[in-house]
Amino acid sequence: MSSARLNSKASSADLRLCAAEIIDVIPVVMNAVRTSMRNNISEGLSIPQFRCLGYISRQPESSVSDVAGFLGVTLATASAMIDRLVRAGYVLLETSLVDRRRAALNASAQGKALVDRIRSAARRDMAETLAAADESQIDAVMDGLAALKTLFRRE
């Protein structure tokens, strides 16, 4: 980023302070989300298994390698996790239409319903926490989230 651009938007010190705040706050928020998810998973799934299922639900036709990369685990670990999800009926393992040597992973209707139910419960829990905020705080959070989404979105 050029120094002219930094000066026109925010000082370097402001940017470092903002970055530090993001790094401090995001883990706190994610801990609340994980706690809610953990409290709402009653299907015998672990958090990593739910993250795996959630990824497959959001990324149809994903591969075992895709899942391993997302979770930050080995192919063997991802494969074992996927096998458990397939046996439970949450994931469908199909032959890729693009490359017949590759397995394509898709969430089953049962898997999608489970992900939706757990996410809905997490949204409800988050809304309960946010109920303590006043309208100006909610507006500020929404503005901040919109800015973060724009700045960090990968496409």
Domain segments of the chain as ranges: 13-152
Distance CA 88, CA 132 (A): 39
Are 70 and 55 within 8 A, CB to CB? Answer: yes
Q: Tell me the two tokens of residue 141.
A: 């959070």
Write down the pTM of the prediction. Answer: 0.74
pLDDT at 128: 95
Which pLDDT tens digits describe the chain residue by residue (155 residues)?
Answer: 444 444 457 788 899 999 999 999 999 999 998 888 888 887 678 888 999 999 999 999 999 999 999 999 999 999 999 999 999 999 999 876 676 777 899 999 999 999 999 999 999 999 999 999 999 999 999 999 999 999 998 75
Distance CA 150, CA 145 (A): 9
Q: Tell me the two tokens of residue 139.
A: 């507006």
If you classify domain 13-152 with CATH, what class do you get? mainly alpha
Distance CA 85, CA 150 (A): 33
> Could you tell me where the DSSP H helices lie in 41-108?
47-58, 64-71, 75-87
Residue 105, beta-bridge partner list: 62, 93
> Could you tell me where the DSSP H helices lie in 11-134?
12-40, 47-58, 64-71, 75-87, 109-130
Q: Tell me the two tokens of residue 39.
A: 């409290």
